[in-house]
A and B are shown apart, each in its own frame.
Chain A
C-alpha cells in the first residue's frame, strides 16, 4: 500500500505544493530561483542548501513573504491541525471538551469537528488570583460525567490537573505535546510545533504517525523538512523544525501510512 498508493498520492500532493509555492509565494520564489532546491529541482542546475529547506525561525522572521500573491493570513496558527490529529492519537467521544493548555496557543483550534467543543486555558492563569472561566467549565463537564481531554506540554497539563478537585483530576484524558526532536514511547502524545501546529500523533500501533493528508515530511541534509500540504497562507513548505531533526520517514508496518522515526 505504501509504495503503490499512499506514497504516490503523498508525493504528488507535495510536488503540487512545491510548484504552487514557487509560482506564487515570494520567499520560496526568491530562495529556490536564486539558490535552488532538490526533489523536485525547479531551476536546472541549482540545488541549494538543505535541499531548499528553511528553518522555522527564518520562516517566522520572514512571514510577510510567506503570504501568496493572492493574499491571506500573515501569522501561523499554532493550534492548526488539532482536529485532524485527535482521532489518530486519542479518539474523543462526541461532546468531549478539548482544553488546550499551552501559553504559546492564544486562540482555540478552528478545525475541531462539530461534535467537540474546544477552549484554551493559559496555565499561568491557574495560579493567579482570578479563577479562569474555562476551568469552571472543565469542572462542570467532569461533574456531569462528561469527557475532558487536556492537550499541551506536560507541565501545563499537570498545572491544570493540580487545579482540579482531587476526585475529578484522574478523569482528565491527557494528550501531551511532543516536539519532533523529543518523541518518546507514548502511550499518548501529539507532535506539535509552535509554527506548523499539530503534525501527527501516536497511533494504536505505538508509532508516531504523521497527519499525512495534510503534512509531508522528507529528509534533507539539514534534517527532516515538513510541509503543510493544505494551508494556503502563510505557506509553509520544507520547514526545518526544532532546529533540524535527524530522522527518517517510513511506512507503518501495520497501517501502511507514513510514520516518523527519530
Chain B
C-alpha cells in the first residue's frame, strides 16, 4: 500500500518539478547553470590553461547555485494548499512525502545538470579526464544537494522571505559536498569522490526526518 502511495506521490512530484508548468520545471536551473559556465570565460579572459585548471570548480559552483533556484517550489506550495494535512489524515507520513520529494527533486535537476555539464565543459575547454571526474562527482554530489534543498525548503516554508533565507542556508551546509566534489578534481583521486558520496549519503539519510519534523512544526 505504501509503495503504491509512494509511486503516486513520485508521479505527481515529477510532473510538477520536471515539467513544471509555470515554474519553468527543470529547464530554468539548467539554463542558469549554462549561463554561469558561459559567463566565466568572458569574466576571466580567454586564457585556455587557466580556464582548464579552474573550470571544474566553476561547474561545481554553478551546479550548487542552480540547485538553489527551485527551493521555493519544493515544499511551501503543498503546505499552503493543505496537501500535507490531507496526507496526514490518510496516515501518509511527512517523512515518506519528503523522501519521495528528495528523489523527485534530484531526478529533476541532477541528470539534466550532468547532461548540461558536457557543453559547459566544452565552453570552458576542460580535458576528457577532468570531465570524467566532474561527471562522477556530480553524480555523487547532486543527491546530497537535492536532500539539502528539500530539507531547507521544509525548514523555511511559511517564513516571510523564506526563499531568500533558504538560499542563504543551503550555501554553508553545501560546503562539504562542494569541497570534496571540487577537491576531487585537484587530486583526480577516488578518495575525493568517495567522500562526496559519503557527504551526500549523510544528507539524504537526514533529510526525511529533518524535513518531516519541519513540516509538522510549521503546522502548529
A and B pair up: no
Which A residues contact B (CB, under 8 angstroms)? none
